[in-house]
Amino acid sequence: MSDFSLTLTGTIAITFLLAGIVKGITGMGLPTLAMGLLGTIMPPVTAASLLIVPSFVTNVWQLFAGPSFASILRRLWLMMVGILIGTMAGSWLLASDNVQWTTAGLGAALTIYAAYTLLARQLTVPAAAEHLMSPAVGFITGIVTGGTGVFVVPAVPYIQALGLSRDDLIQALGLSFTVSTIALAAGLAAHGAFQVEHIAMSSLAVLPALLGMWLGQLLRQRISPATFRRWFLIFLILLGLELLARPFLA
């Protein structure tokens, strides 16, 4: 999709505004919601290309806003290596012409993540197991990222299970999402799927994303983040099921 009409451009801007609001309220969710919404109107590979710049900017902001970058990187570097390798290995699927299966994969990733987050109990990862689990979780996350453009499975549940403080958790998620964004951009570029017009439109999407984050932070003071997060996850499940079923209903 190389021709961005005025209507489509407006739709993209509104999508990133909404995704930014979600991130401002909950601390995450911008790439996930943007991929889900854009995946309903365009091939997932195009949606992933548009995601690169706003995801990178907002997650780098989140990554360096906390005080513990060096210690978090030392703890999670094996996971980050796994994400890089897995994303590069899996990006051929997203870059392929099989739109039906990549759309179904996107729907499955959204549904699994949202349902698990909504229903599952909080897990705990023993410190002794991190050395073995981190690269495996990173590699699986990378495969999912490369195949669907969704960064959160199983990285987010795993990082949440490490027992980090709130500030360190937010910073660790920022690290994971930043590395996933860089790896996805490299994987798409390696397969010729990251086009110049996508870079330009992706750069323009930064402004509505940042505006949305600012609005979300204001709304966070007026609404219950836990209640909002619950309904957001329910919406993601419904959106994921629609994307998952779409290839079989066509």
Instruction: Give domain limits for the chain.
Output: 6-249
Query: d(Cα 35, Cα 153) in Å, to the nearest integer?
Result: 14
* CA-wise closest residue to 205 among 24, 10, 26, 35: 10
Cα–Cα distances in Å, from 167 out to 50, 65, 67?
Answer: 28, 9, 8
pLDDT score of 16 more than 50: yes
Write down the pLDDT at residue 218.
93
pTM of the predicted model over 0.85:
yes
Per residue in 182-202, pLDDT (tens digit) is 999 999 999 999 887 788 899
Specify the residue for token string 């991130």: 23
Q: 90, 145 in Cβ contact below 8 A?
A: yes
Residue 3 CA from chain centroid, whole number: 25
| Runs of H (alpha helix) within the chain | 6-26, 30-38, 44-64, 69-95, 99-119, 130-148, 155-160, 166-190, 196-204, 206-220, 225-249
pLDDT in tens, 87-134: 999 999 999 878 888 999 999 999 999 999 999 888 899 988 999 999
